[in-house]
Amino acid sequence: MKTILVPTDLSPLADSALEVAADLARTYGAEILLVHYIPFSIAVASTAEGSLTLGSYLDEQDANAVSDLQRIIANPAYQGVAITPISCRDAGGLYAAMTERQCDLIVLTTHGTSGWDEWLFGSNAEHIVRFAHCPVLVLKKAVVPFAPKNAIAAIDVDTTLKHHWPTYPFSAGGNKLSQFVYVSTPSDNCVPEGVHAWMHELAEENNIGTYNLHIKHARSAEDGILSCAHERQADLIVLFTHGHTGLRHLLQGSVAEDVLNHAPVPVLIMHINR
């Protein structure tokens, strides 16, 4: 892990993500990109005079953002950590600003969403997860030191996952994923024996040593994952996603996004390597 990206809206909640990122940076010798997006850069002026006014306004916003970012990284708590402040107006918008920069991990915090807001709008975390090309660690609060010892990974019998297993980023001290959960829902046709055989093949193909596979019966994958994590006192939930977007995402939804909105512990979203 060489580069960690932390998106910030300059709020105290976003500072929690930076605390965790700084801890990880010290552990892995990584640098941090602290990225703030200026949301009003999408405005378009209709006259030359308006263009100058808008440009001055955005320059002022940019200067204020840079000042705020410098104030944040001057905190003695981050001494010795290489943090690069970035204030941007990327034409691609907020999510392009967060996801198109080269990094090995994105760390962010979210309140999560529920009810109609979740169905209609989701959260910024959901959108970043959908478009990111690297693992995304989603937090509800700062957890420092961040060194999960009891992570649990949710799996399904997706052939792509078996053959394109992503690399677990928190391997300091030889820590590896060793707990897995498969959720059997009422519409699931897989038998336990088949799931165990599939997991054995995944472990063999990807050099996973000793492991425990828990098969959880629940009405939905989300409920089963959250219930198993609670029962096992997991300190991190690991999920895998293809990062579906557009109509396919709207129709199928995403278990990963449902879990990250409601999990009380950190959630690591990992994109399946293709």
Q: Does this chain's domain 3-139 share its CATH topology with 151-271?
A: yes
Give the pLDDT confidence score for residue 176 in this predicted structure.
87
Q: What pLDDT is attached to residue 39? A: 67
Which top CATH class is 3-139? alpha beta
Q: Which two tokens stand for residue 219?
A: 């009405």
Q: Phi then psi for 210, rounded to 5 degrees? A: -65, 135
Task: Delimit the domains of the chain by residue range.
Answer: 3-139, 151-271
In the chain, what are the helix, strand and coil shares in percent, each to the nearest 5?
Answer: 45, 20, 35
Say if residue 81's pLDDT is above 70: yes
User: pLDDT tens-digit profile of 21-65?
Assistant: 999 999 999 999 999 887 654 444 455 554 556 567 667 777 788
Query: How far is residue 10's CA from residue 16's CA, in Å, rounded to a whole number?
Result: 11
**CATH class for the domain made up of 151-271:** alpha beta
**pLDDT tens for each residue of 153-169:** 999 888 888 888 999 99
Element of type H or E holding 136: strand 136-139
Is pLDDT at 248 greater than 50 in this prediction?
no
User: What's the predicted TM-score (pTM) here?
Assistant: 0.86
Residue 246 confidence (pLDDT): 55
For the residues 216-238, what does the mean pLDDT come to?
95
Give the pLDDT of residue 179.
96
- Of the chain, the percentage scoring pLDDT greater than 90 comes to 48
CA 159 to chain centre: 23
CB-CB contact of 64 with 82 (8 Å): no
DSSP H helical segments within the chain, as ranges?
12-28, 48-73, 94-99, 115-120, 124-131, 159-163, 192-205, 221-231, 246-252, 255-262
Give the whole-angstrom CA distance, residue 226 versus residue 104: 26
For residue 114, CA distances in Å to 117, 139, 140 come to: 6, 16, 14
Indicate the SS3 state at residue 24.
Answer: helix
pLDDT one-digit tens code per residue, 2-20: 999 998 888 888 889 999 9
DSSP helix/strand/coil, 115: helix
What residues contact residue 132 under an 8 Å CB cut-off, 6+ apart?
98, 99, 106, 243, 269, 271
Q: Helix or strand or coil: residue 195?
A: helix
Mean of pLDDT values over 83-93: 78
SS3 assignment, position 7: strand
Q: How does DSSP classify residue 232?
A: T
Write out the two tokens for 220: 């939905």
- Rounded Cα distance between 46 and 110, Å, is 36
- For the beta carbon of residue 178, count every other beta carbon within 10 angstroms: 15
